[in-house]
Structure 1
């Protein structure tokens, strides 16, 4: 494994371990210290059939990570239209076409957790589950809860009477809320700097936190969050800082 990739993964794992609030975990899958094969977990999100369960994910790191996404698969069996109920394979743009080097193992796990709140039955990985969700949302919620209890350790409970189960409107609202929250969390990492300005350095292989730290060290103007061209001298100072030469 390249030293840069190993350092980045080790740093990401340390950050996950230090974050006690999210309850997200990730660590080497085996007894050794192989950072190319990890095992992650996260709690089922509240107000979903998965609430109270713990979901484990098998994570394999690509050789050119972070320029390619990690390969993730649910180890915990789950009834969800975007996850195969047989293999645990996942259909999620964040782990394919929408992946960016800005993202991390933690943000990918957060995206999976968010996916449990915002199923997309029209873009399914498991057509049987998607058909049930579209045809009979209450039945879908009941089966999803049964699987959460059986496979993810969720406590037994029934969906509250009168809740109406999952509906098209409630799913749309959850999707909008989750996407808005995800965007807010992602932008917070930029500390007020323009996203495109920071991402020009991220595209070189540095993570957002390191670039933002270098900007603050050098004293780069936030310019009200607007994009602009940095002077050549600043570019050199930032690059030197990122490479540990300043």
Structure 2
């Protein structure tokens, strides 16, 4: 039996209505069975200011079993695999209820970012660091947020490269050629490939 498409559509409308919640959903084409969740990093956490993407697969038995979720955006967190984005969260496993929704699942993942559970880790290395080296954990998590979860617009990239002494036209051309990759554009501007 396929998932309940009408319910999924209703849930998407609800998420769209509540933009202030800090979570959202992006469609991947017109397939309701495969979505991308968007989570704002919680304030006063190392993830503050980041925008995190979560792959969501609606299982055929949804809502009677949880959606499959994993982070697409790299995250340094005890309950998220730093390798594949797998999430260790009870409501995505045995504590799921058909009364829960995609929105509540995303809000729970967002809350998990603020309140790690190192005693039930997905990534033992990160959990050990969280327990034994709190400041190192926070600075690494902040670094990963800056590196992987910050949305930098092209104007900021242009400004930074122009401040390095390159002409604005050259900078825009290099960014366009490199698909917006600032580091590759810098290499090109410096006489690389």
- Using the size of structure 2 for normalisation, the TM-score is 0.76
Matched residue count: 152
Q: Is the 8 A contact 2:26 2:38 kept in 1?
A: no
| SS of equivalent to 2:20 | coil
Q: Which residue of 1 aligns with 2:76?
A: 79
Q: Does 1:9 align with 2:8?
A: yes
Aligned-pair CA distance for 1:88: 0.1
Q: Is the 8 A contact 1:43 1:51 kept in 2?
A: yes
Runs of 4+ residues over 3 Å off in structure 1: none
Q: Which residue of 2 aligns with 1:153?
A: 150
Q: How does 1:10-49 map to 2 (within 5 A)?
A: 10-29=9-28, 31=29, 33-49=30-46
Q: Is the 8 A contact 2:71 2:86 kept in 1?
A: yes
Q: Is the 8 A contact 2:38 2:52 kept in 1?
A: yes
Q: Is the 8 A contact 1:79 1:85 kept in 2?
A: yes
Counterpart CA distance in 1 for 2:147 and 2:26 is: 25
**Structure 2: stretches of 5+ with no match in the other structure:** 153-193
Which of 133, 138, 148 lines up with 1:141 in the alignment?
Answer: 138
Aligned-pair CA distance for 1:124: 0.4
Aligned-pair CA distance for 1:154: 7.2
Quickly say closer, same or farther: Cα 1:154–1:38, change in 2 above 3 A. Answer: closer
Q: Which residue of 2 aligns with 1:88?
A: 85
| SS of equivalent to 1:124 | coil
Q: Which has the higher contact order (CA 8 A, sep 6+)?
A: 2
Q: Does 1:57 align with 2:65?
A: no
Deviation digits for residues 186-211 of structure 1 (CA, Å, limit 9, x no counterpart): xxxxxxxxxxxxxxxxxxxxxxxxxx
**Structure 1: stretches of 5+ with no match in the other structure:** 156-246
RMSD of aligned alpha carbons: 1.4
| SS of equivalent to 1:21 | helix
| SS of equivalent to 2:19 | coil
Counterpart CA distance in 2 for 1:131 and 1:108 is: 26
Counterpart CA distance in 1 for 2:151 and 2:60 is: 35
Q: Which residue of 2 aligns with 1:102?
A: 99
Counterpart CA distance in 2 for 1:17 and 1:97 is: 28
